[in-house]
Chains A and B, each alone.
Chain A
Amino acid sequence: MTTKQFMFVNRKAPYGTIYAWESLEVVLIAAAFEQDVSMAFLDDGVYQLKKGHQTKGIEVKAFEKTFGALEDYDVTKIYVDQESLTERGLTTDDLALPVEVFSRAELGKLMEEQDVVLSF
C-alpha cells in the first residue's frame, strides 16, 4: 500500500465539542493503515494533552488513556506549538505525553511537507 504523510491538526479543547475525540479515532485508523502519521496540537488543542482529565462531572468519556495507546500504534510524532503553550501558561511538564515542541513558523514548514493535512 502507498504510504503517505498524514498530519492531524488538533486545534480545539478536549471536551465541549466532539472534534478531539473523533480526530483521535481517525488517527488510529490511519495508523492501522500503516500511514506515516503525525499529530500537531495548537491553539486550545494543547489542552487535549494536559495531564489529569477529570470528566466525571460532565458525564463524558475521558480519552487521556487513548493518547497513551498511540505508541502501540507507532504514532510517536506528537508536535506541539510553543506559542500556544505559552499563551495558556503551560509547559511540557503539564502534558501527559512526550512531545516535540516547535515554533509556529516551524510547524508551518512541517505542514507544508505533508501529503495530507486533516484539521479538526
Chain B
Amino acid sequence: MKFAILVNEGPYTHQASDTAFNFAKAVLAQGHEIFRVFFYHDGVNNATRLTTPPQDDRNIVDRWSKLAKTSELDMVVCVAAAQRRGIVDDGEMKRNGKDATNLAPGFRISGLGQLVEAGIQADRLVVFGD
C-alpha cells in the first residue's frame, strides 16, 4: 500500500512526531511505500538542523534525516508554515533577505500543493497531530 504521512506538531513538545516516525518505520518494515512525509503547522520545527537535545535523549531531527537517506523518503516542509517559524533553506534565505539557513538534510521546502498531491496519490494519508 502507498502511504502519505502528515506531521502537524513540533518535536519534543508533542508525541506526534515520534509516533509518525515510528509509524513510518513500521510501514517501511512491512514492505509498504511512503509517497511523502509532509510537515505542517509546528511540524515544520522537525526540520531544523540546529536542534541540540541532551545526549541521553533521542535526536528527532537527525532520526528523520537518517530515515530519509536510508529509505529515500520525500520529506516536504510547508513553505508558508516554515516562513512563519524561521525554517530556512538557501532559496528562502535569498528570497527573504535572511543571513542563515537551518534546513536539515533530507528535507525540502515546498508548497501545500505537495500535501494535496500526497492525498491524491496515496492510498492512505495518515495525520499525526493534536
Q: Please report A residues at the B interface, Cβ cutoff 8 Å.
A: 1-2, 4, 6, 18-19, 22, 25-26, 29-30, 32-33, 35, 115-120
Contact = CB atoms under 8 A, between A and B. Distances in A.
A22 B120 contact: no
A26 B116 contact: yes
A29 B113 contact: yes
Interface string B98-130: 000000000000011101110110000101011
16 contacts: A2-B120, A4-B119, A18-B41, A19-B41, A22-B40, A22-B81, A29-B112, A29-B113, A29-B116, A30-B116, A30-B119, A35-B116, A116-B125, A118-B127, A119-B127, A120-B41
Given A25-B80, A26-B116, A119 B41 contact: no
A6 B113 CA distance: 13
Contacts of A26: 40, 112, 115-116
B6 interface: yes
Contact of A35 (B8, B84, B120, B127): B120
For B112, B115, B125, which residue has the most chain A Cβ atoms within 10 angstroms? Answer: B112
Nearest to B124: A116
Contacts of B129: 119-120
A33 B113 contact: yes
A22 B115 CA distance: 13
Contacts of A118: 6, 119, 125, 127
A35 B130 CA distance: 25
Nearest to B113: A29
